C-alpha cells in the first residue's frame, strides 16, 4: 500500500474551498429524481444531464472530485472524451461508487445491509486502471423504535472496514459513509447518541481491519432532529452538536470529513455547513459531498427547458460557489433569501 499517495489524494479531495459533487445516483434513484420533474430516465438522458454538471464553466474552482456511478464512469462527453478523463484534465478527481445497494438485514425488521464485497478486489483493480482515484460505499443506519441494533451497526461497519482496506490495497482512497438517516420522528439528542456510537464502532473496526486512517475519508450526515419529528432545524444547535460529535469521536488523523445533504433543503444544507465551518479549526479538511443540495435546483431548471444549457450550467456553478463559501464558513447567508434560490431550493 502506497500510504503517502493515498494521503495526498485524500488531501486534494478536502482542500480548502473545494468539495465533492455526488453524481453517483443508481439508475433507480435517478429515475425517482427524474420522475419528480417528469423527464424520461434513460441511459442517454442521464448522460445528457450529467454532462451539463461536469462541463459547467468554472466548476473546477469549487469541485475537487466527482463521485460517478458505474454507467457514467464508462460514458463520454458529447464532444468525445470519457467523462473521467475530461474531469481529470480539469483537475477534478474522478471517483466511483462501488457498493451494490441495500438489502434487508435478515431477522432485523427495518434495518439494511449494503452488498457488494464479492469480487470487489477485481472491480477495484479495473476502476483503478481506468483512472478512479477514490471510491464511495454507503451504508444506512435507520433510527426508530428499537433500532438501530448493535447487530446492524456491527454488520455495516464490518463491511465498510473490509471495503476500505480493499480500496487502499488497490491504490484508491475509500470514502466510508455510514449514513444515519434523517427520516423518522426521533429527537436531535437521539440522533447525536446514535451517530457518536456509530463513529466509535466504525473507527474501532477500521483500525482492527488495518485501514490506514489518514488515507480514508468519512462521509457523514449532520446531527439533525428526525425529518418527521416536528422539530424545526436550529442551525446553531445542529452545528454545535455535529462538531462535538466529530471532534470527540472521529480520529484526528483521518484523511478528511465530508457531508451528505441527506434530504435537507439546499438552504439548510448550505447554512448548516457554513455554521459548522465557523466552529473550526477542525483537525481534518471538512467539506461538502452533496447530491441533492447541489443538484435539485439544477435538475428543475433542466427539466423546464433542456435547451437552456448555458443558464443551467451557470446555475450549477452558482450552487458550487455557495457550497464552497459555506465550506469555508464564509457564506453570506442572506443571499440564500434571494427569491430565485428559495423557489428552486424546495426538496424534490
**Which residues contact ligand 13P (rule: CB under 6 A)?**
22, 138, 177, 260-262, 290-293
Shortest distance (Å) from residue 273 CB to ligand 13P? 11
CB closer to ligand 13P, 1 vs 41: 41
DSSP, collapsed to helix, strand or coil, labels residue 104 as strand
Shortest distance (Å) from residue 296 CB to ligand 13P? 9
CB closer to ligand 13P, 262 vs 285: 262
If DSSP states are collapsed to H, E and C, what string results for 46-103? HHHHHHHHHCCCCHHHCEEEEEECHHHHCCECCCCCEHHHHHHHCCCEEEEECCCCEE
Shortest distance (Å) from residue 3 CB to ligand 13P? 26
Q: Active site residue: 112, 136, 219, 267, which one? A: 219
Measured in degrees and rounded to the nearest 5, phi and psi for residue 5 equal -70, -40
**Residues, the chain:** 348
CB closer to ligand 13P, 19 vs 125: 19
Calpha distance 251→247 (Å, rounded): 8
CB closer to ligand 13P, 102 vs 308: 102
CB closer to ligand 13P, 141 vs 210: 141
Q: Active site residue: 7, 51, 111, 177, which one? A: 177
DSSP class of 259: E
If DSSP states are collapsed to H, E and C, what string results for 205-269? HHHHCCCCHHHCEEEECCCCCCCCCCCCCCHHHHHHHHHHHHHHHCCCCCCCEEECCCCCCHHHH
CA-to-CA separations, 79 to 45, 55, 82, 284, 338, in angstroms, rounded: 16, 11, 9, 38, 35
Give the list of residues 6+ apart from residue 4 with CB closer than 8 angstroms, or none: none
Measured in degrees and rounded to the nearest 5, phi and psi for residue 260 equal -95, 160
CB closer to ligand 13P, 33 vs 275: 33
Shortest distance (Å) from residue 42 CB to ligand 13P? 22
DSSP, collapsed to helix, strand or coil, labels residue 67 as strand
DSSP class of 231: P
Active site residue 219: yes
CB closer to ligand 13P, 106 vs 202: 202
On whether the CB atoms of residues 116 and 70 are closer than 8 A, the answer is: no
Shortest distance (Å) from residue 19 CB to ligand 13P? 11
Active site residue 177: yes
Calpha distance 205→180 (Å, rounded): 17
Calpha distance 92→85 (Å, rounded): 9
User: Which residue numbers are catalytic?
Assistant: 177, 219
Amino acid at each position: 500500500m502506497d500510504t503517502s499517495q493515498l494521503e495526498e489524494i485524500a488531501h486534494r479531495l478536502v482542500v480548502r474551498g473545494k468539495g465533492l459533487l455526488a453524481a453517483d445516483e443508481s439508475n433507480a434513484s435517478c429515475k425517482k429524481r427524474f420522475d419528480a420533474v417528469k423527464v424520461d430516465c434513460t441511459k442517454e438522458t442521464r448522460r445528457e444531464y450529467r454532462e451539463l454538471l461536469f462541463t459547467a464553466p468554472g466548476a473546477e474552482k469549487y469541485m475537487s472530485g466527482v463521485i460517478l456511478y458505474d454507467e457514467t464512469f464508462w460514458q463520454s462527453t458529447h464532444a468525445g472524451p470519457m467523462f473521467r478523463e475530461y474531469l481529470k484534465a480539469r483537475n477534478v478527481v474522478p471517483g466511483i461508487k462501488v457498493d451494490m445497494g441495500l438489502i434487508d438485514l435478515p431477522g432485523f425488521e427495518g434495518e439494511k445491509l449494503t452488498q457488494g464485497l464479492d469480487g470487489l478486489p477485481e472491480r477495484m483493480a479495473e476502476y483503478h486502471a481506468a483512472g478512479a482515484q477514490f471510491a464511495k460505499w454507503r451504508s444506512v443506519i435507520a433510527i426508530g423504535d428499537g433500532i438501530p441494533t448493535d447487530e446492524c451497526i456491527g454488520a455495516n461497519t464490518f463491511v465498510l472496514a473490509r471495503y476500505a482496506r480493499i480500496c487502499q490495497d488497490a491504490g484508491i482512497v475509500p470514502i466510508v459513509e455510514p449514513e444515519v438517516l434523517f427520516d423518522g420522528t426521533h429527537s436531535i439528542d437521539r440522533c447525536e447518541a446514535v451517530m457518536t456510537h456509530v463513529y466509535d464502532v466504525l473507527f474501532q473496526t477500521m483500525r482492527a481491519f488495518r485501514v490506514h486512517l489518514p488515507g480514508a475519508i468519512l462521509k457523514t450526515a449532520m446531527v439533525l432532529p428526525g425529518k418527521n419529528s416536528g422539530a424545526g432545524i436550529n442551525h446553531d444547535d445542529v452545528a454545535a452538536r455535529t462538531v462535538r460529535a466529530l471532534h470527540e469521536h472521529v480520529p484526528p488523523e483521518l484523511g478528511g470529513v465530508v457531508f451528505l445533504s441527506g434530504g435537507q433543503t439546499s438552504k439548510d444544507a448550505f447554512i448548516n455547513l457554513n455554521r459548522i465551518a465557523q466552529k473550526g479549526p477542525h483537525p481534518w479538511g471538512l467539506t461538502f459531498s452533496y447530491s441533492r443540495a447541489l443538484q435539485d435546483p439544477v435538475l428543475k431548471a433542466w427539466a423546464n427547458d433542456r435547451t437552456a444549457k448555458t443558464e443551467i450550467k451557470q446555475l450549477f456553478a452558482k450552487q458550487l460557489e455557495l457550497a464552497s463559501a459555506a465550506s469555508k464558513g464564509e457564506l453570506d447567508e442572506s443571499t440564500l433569501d434571494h427569491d430565485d434560490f428559495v423557489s428552486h431550493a424546495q426538496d424534490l
